[in-house]
Chains A and B, each alone.
Chain A
Amino acid sequence: MKPFSKEILHIENIEEVCDTIVNKLKTDVAQKLQRRGAVVGISGGIDSSVCMALSTKAFGPEKVTAIMLPEQDSSDDSKNLALKLANKFSVKTIEENITKALDGFGCYRRRDEAIARVIHNFDPKVDKAKIEIKQDISQNIPGIFSVTVIKPNGEVISKLLPVKEYLQIVASTNFKQRSRMSMLYYHAERLHYAVIGTPNKHEVEQGFFVKHGDGGADVMPIGHLYKTQVYQLARYLGVPQEIIDRTPTTDTYTAEQTQEDFFFQMPHKEMDLIWYGWENNYKTDEVGKVMGKTAQEIENIYKSFERKRNTTEYLRMRPIF
């Protein structure tokens, strides 16, 4: 076993790794799935950008269709960056605004009703809102969500979410990922293409995806890669620098929300390394020394990873017969 270091996740032979992924993608889509191209939902984020770039390498730009799926809460940056990416790789794009579909499902109304039951003066017309885990991951207690409302004058109101409201907010916003996947399959079916899923290793294994939403694709080419490695691949593939430099967000709630605040509770570079240490049974004191943390803090983070993986097993399960 290699000594634990901050460089342990660096891919030495990036060209070879990239070729392996591309060849597998080609085989999976053409032979296993028997489809003739790829549909990728692009958000201007790093994961979907890398998946689109890999698909272009595998099938050629003429057999890739990139779909942009904005809704009323999406940031304008997402669309601009997605367009820049598609132009760079000469991939055709289709924009499908899903706001009306979400409105039909009652996504916004159901979410806002739940928020207003917790923060009584919440006004969805002018206030911004998000949910986040505020606890420190190195403390040995499961993370639970708070709702935060930001008033137009900058006032921030935050409250721990009761179970009923938490579940309603999550169930409502999950319409977004499920509607997007529905639209991706519409295009995939009309073209006889496969849907390329964009979750990375952490999202898959910690359950940071929506069942039958972004977790419902045909093939997930970066599902085995740490986020640090996805960035390395992005640089190798020539993904635009603005996308590489952008802080990963959920682009789901009206208030700005990083993936770190929402779910992961620590920066991805740190999380990747400690996850690797946990997965490969590195001793907590060895990892702690490299990461500038105590062995006890690393132990607590290991436990948090284990809890998240166990709690989200349901999301990865196939239907039970």
Chain B
Amino acid sequence: MKTQVETENKNKIKNYIISATLSDTKAINDDTLIFETGLLDSMGLLFLVEYLNEEFNIEVKDDELLPENFQSVNSILKFIEGKQ
């Protein structure tokens, strides 16, 4: 069951990034480094934080803005799970 929720959440995050950046679906996988590859810049990160707040009801604090929490779909998922 957990795996199904995980997969759903992962897809939600991935789809959000694809839609927000007007990227090709092949441009991003679970481990793509979203800042390194230039997919998201500072405004992109700000919009992502807003999306996570609305979609998963989590509040991001400034000391949580770390690469390990946001650098890829997998790290965002892990971060969300840790907050829920």
A contact residues vs B (CB 8 Å cutoff): 134-135, 139-144, 146, 158-164, 166, 303, 307, 310-311
Contact = CB atoms under 8 A, between A and B. Distances in A.
Interface of B is mostly: helix
A11 B41 CA distance: 35
B43 A162 contact: no
Given A135-B62, A162-B50, A311 B35 contact: no
A141 B67 contact: yes
Interface string B30-51: 0000011010111111110110
Nearest to A308: B42
Chain B interface residue bracket vs A: 20 to 34
A105 B76 CA distance: 40
Given A141-B35, A162-B53, A307 B42 contact: yes
B71 A144 contact: no
B7 to A, nearest CB: 26
A307 B47 CA distance: 16
Contact of A140 (B36, B50, B61, B63): B36
A200 B71 CA distance: 32
A134 B62 contact: yes
Interface string B57-69: 0001111011100
Interface of B: 35-36, 38, 40-47, 49-50, 53, 60-63, 65-67, 70-71
Interface core residue of B42, B61, B70 (most chain A CB under 10 Å): B42
Contacts of B66: 139, 141
B53 A303 contact: no
Contacts of A135: 62, 65
B41 A310 contact: yes
A294 to B, nearest CB: 15
Given A142-B40, A311-B43, A158 B62 contact: yes
Kindly list the 6 A-B residue pairs having the minimum CB-CB distance in the complex, ordered from nearest: A142-B42, A311-B41, A163-B46, A160-B62, A146-B62, A141-B67
B42 A311 contact: yes
Given A162-B50, A307-B35, A144 B67 contact: no
A195 B60 CA distance: 43
B65 A141 contact: yes
A301 to B, nearest CB: 14
